Amino acid sequence: MSVSTRVDLALLGIRGQPPVSRSAGAGPSDDGHLVIDGMNAALPRNPQSPYEFDGQRLLYDGVDTGLDVAVINRPRFYDLHTADGVAYEQIARLHGRDVLATTVVQTCIRYAEDQRCRFCSIEESLRTGSTVAVKRPADLAEVAAAAVRLDGVRQMVMTTGTSAGRDRGARHLARCTAAVRAAVPDLPIQVQCEPPDDLATITELRSAGADSIGIHVESMDDTVRRRWMPGKSTVPLVDYWAAWTEAVRVFGRNQVSTYLIVGLGEDPDELVTSARQLIDAGVYPFVVPFRPHPGTLAVDADRVGAPDPALVEKVSRQVAEHLTFTGMLGADQRAGCAACGACSVLQNVGG
């Protein structure tokens, strides 16, 4: 598959519904998951896309693209329930072919309309009843064990909405990590949270059994941050740097990552410069295109569309070049979004 086709798919998305899909939620969502040319691909679902998934193949304007598409079947663990009747599917979901993902707290203190990140729909999946507000550590352990046993899951991602405490939700993440680690000792786990006030919390997460950590800034441009993330931008970049630096010390080089979103209006050269600084500090910048999906303020209020494909390809290539140069590959992360790669084109261009 050419890089431009992969970028097109990332931006235009597909019609049709692969068996493994997700609607609203934290981060990039409303997508269908396939394996294309052996690589994970989380593609936006877009009824207007010229690409169509027909249940087996990817067509473009009705013609088979010839791409090597592997369909990921609905996982068997989705059919199980906890003793008190909660569907496993409401506790954690399959992403790609082998990633188990969950949002341990599905609410966010920043979700007031004038505070929330304009690309996020974390509480929408809660509103529609497709998930539960707080995942209990014991339930996550039970689901993770089943997902490994029945569906061959190979890594787990745990993210969280931000809580009001000084730890910003990291302590509950640590409790969940410890429970999963005890139940499935060999399952690599990535945790994702905002920079905690007390940097010792990062060691707590590592000690609980997390293998890697994502501390997601989304943009390094303060003007963009204030416009797109009014609540989250109150955490200054200097706090992010302190958390990343401590995380690299605790977790190791290339076991720490952050999201950078292309298409929020940041100067692309500055975005690439920031990405290089992060890489040099041992932090993997997981570059993803902005994905417009209903249920977010960006779409429902601002009507923002997807970025220019040429820009996404250029930025991804420039960042991948520095990742390759420094020997920091997504595939070398023990767990997490950079290891999975489905929401980005970085791995398709060598990162």
For residues 21 and 293, the answer to whether their CB atoms sit within 8 Å is no
Q: Which is nearer to ligand SF4, 208 or 342 (CB)?
A: 342
H, E, C per residue of 83-144:
CCCCEHHHCCEEECCCEEEEECECCCCCCCCCCCCCCCCCCHHHHCCCCCCECCHHHHHHHH
Q: Which is nearer to ligand SF4, 91 or 342 (CB)?
A: 342
**E strands of 45-87, at which residues?**
51-53, 58-60, 63-64, 69-71
Q: How far is the CB of 118 from ligand SF4 (least distance, A)?
A: 18
Q: How far is the CB of 30 from ligand SF4 (least distance, A)?
A: 12
Q: How far is the CB of 246 from ligand SF4 (least distance, A)?
A: 23
Q: How far is the CB of 31 from ligand SF4 (least distance, A)?
A: 8
Binding site for ligand SF4 (CB under 6 A): 27-28, 42, 95-96, 99, 101, 157, 337, 340, 342-343
Q: How far is the CB of 233 from ligand SF4 (least distance, A)?
A: 22
Q: How many CA atoms lie within 13 A of 89 on its CB side?
A: 13
Q: How many CA atoms lie within 13 A of 308 on its CB side?
A: 6
Q: Which is nearer to ligand SF4, 247 or 335 (CB)?
A: 335
Q: How far is the CB of 64 from ligand SF4 (least distance, A)?
A: 25
Q: Which is nearer to ligand SF4, 243 or 346 (CB)?
A: 346
Q: Which is nearer to ligand SF4, 179 or 287 (CB)?
A: 287
Q: Which is nearer to ligand SF4, 203 or 332 (CB)?
A: 332
Distance separating alpha carbons of residues 318 and 327, to the nearest angstrom? 14
CA of 210: how far to CAs of 19, 27, 171, 190, 283, in Å? 29, 20, 12, 6, 16
Distance separating alpha carbons of residues 81 and 73, to the nearest angstrom? 19
